[in-house]
Amino acid sequence: MPKGLLGRSLLILMTPMLLLQIVTVLIFFERHWDTVARQLSRGLAGDVVFVIDYLGEYPDAEHFEWLQHSARMRLQLDILFEPDEILEQQITQPPFGLVSQELFTALDERLERPFFFDLDIDNRQLEIRVQLKDGVLSVIAPRKRLYSSTTYIFFMWIAGSALILYGVAVMFMRNQVRPIRRLAKAADQFGRGVEVDTFKPEGAAEVRLAASSFISMRDRIARHLSQRTALLAGVSHDLRTPLTRMKLELAMQGSLPGVDALKQDVVDMERMVDAYLAFARGEEGEKAVPTDIGKLITDQVGEALRDGQQIDLHIADSLEMELRPQSVRRCLANIMSNAGRYANNLSVRAGRRGQDYEIVFDDDGPGIPADKREDVFKPFYRLEESRNQATGGVGLGMTIARDSARGHGGDVYLEDAPGGGLRVRLVLPIGH
């Protein structure tokens, strides 16, 4: 079965038409062609019998010349009599082929004497030879006496009309499928953060309904993101004000016991608020633009190198993609930052893999147990057993990374690195 809607629709539409045409052709071939072949064969056999009977009644040369002339002019037959000849070949069994069988049956029923015929002496004529008592009669007739051109005209009309109808069906079905493809493209672009403001419902009523539902869903999601960002901006302002007063109060306390610990708590609270806002804000307000993915990776790796990380970078393919650059930078930074906390060396490999662009991060750290790899993507989740708690972080790094990847239609996968550490695979679909 075809995988596409266009192919399946055409198959559903054309299969009954094709079966109908096959049945029609078979019925025509069995009825019309069989009837025409039988009538033509009987007509030709009757003319041959008439010639033989006439020769039996008037065997003299003068009447034979008149018969030759009349047969040529009236019956389109050329007759030749070979006296004292014996028919060397004769047909006693029906030969293969519908026309040959009908002609054999007609001659066998009417002649009651040995005969032989050749339907292929050339492209335009056939020959019938009959054994008479004093020689062999040869009758040459045009092939059109046995073959009807209506059969071939019928086949040509069937084939021509089928091609025209199939062409019209393909054109109309393609027009019906095009709005569905546009809807799928708009949904894919929206999933990758590309603006789809120009998309409008079109096509059949059901397709228009689906398109209208998609537009309503897009608008609801956009409103939700805007409301979330506005709400969190207000929360940020409300939280930062008391935190600032607390910092001032603590600074005025001097070196009293417990002040340093409270200052550290305030700093941790500010960091947690900033991390949460970064996660909640996501890609809000950033537009997808054509971006050189190779240069973006190189720049981000350069920043990590300046921070002291040991990174080996290899970019096999660099191409321009529709991305939200800051979102992807945040994703790359979080992945490399995690590797920098828990590993000494990091290898980054990037290149095209089919219809996706894949970035692979391999580190030599302790890795993550397979049963906890999905947990690290949960907000505020930290691997207390396998990661050092003193390294900082609030458990949102990988959450933000996956949120960014999925916002572009891709994903982040955790696997075992060949060297025993952790492999992080960032997959981003290549837009078309």
Give backbone dihedrals phi and psi of 351, rounded to 5 degrees, phi first: 175, 170
Task: Give how far Cα 65 sits from Cα of 61, 72, 95, 129, 341, Å.
Answer: 6, 11, 33, 19, 118
DSSP-assigned beta bridge partners for residue 130 = 115, 137
Q: What is the pLDDT of residue 384?
A: 55
Return the structure tokens found at 166: 């199939």
- pLDDT digits 0-9 by tens, 277-330: 666 655 555 777 889 999 999 999 999 999 888 999 999 988 888 888 888 998
Q: What is the pLDDT of residue 192?
A: 66
Element (H, E) at 130: strand 125-132
Q: What is the pLDDT of residue 130?
A: 92
- Residues 31, 98: Cα–Cα separation, whole Å: 12
Regions of the chain with pLDDT less than 70:
33, 149-151, 192-194, 233, 275-285, 383-395, 431-432
The strand pair at 422-429 and 289-292 is best described as unpaired
Q: What is the pLDDT of residue 386?
A: 44
Residue identified by tokens 């979080």 is 334
Q: What is the pLDDT of residue 361?
A: 95
Q: What is the pLDDT of residue 347?
A: 93
The answer to whether the CB of 408 falls within 8 A of the CB of 345 is no
260 CB-side CA count, 13 A: 2
C-alpha closest to that of 168 among 12, 14, 4: 14
Residue identified by tokens 């790796």 is 301
- Residues 426, 402: Cα–Cα separation, whole Å: 9
Q: What is the pLDDT of residue 204?
A: 85
Q: What is the pLDDT of residue 280?
A: 60
Kindly state the DSSP code that residue 282 receives in the 8-state scheme: T
Q: What is the pLDDT of residue 387?
A: 43
C-alpha closest to that of 411 among 356, 329, 362, 342: 356
The answer to whether the CB of 158 falls within 8 A of the CB of 25 is yes
Is the model's pTM score more than 0.75?
A: no
Quote the Cα angle for 106-111-116, to 5°.
75
The answer to whether the CB of 352 falls within 8 A of the CB of 321 is no
- Residues 275, 401: Cα–Cα separation, whole Å: 12
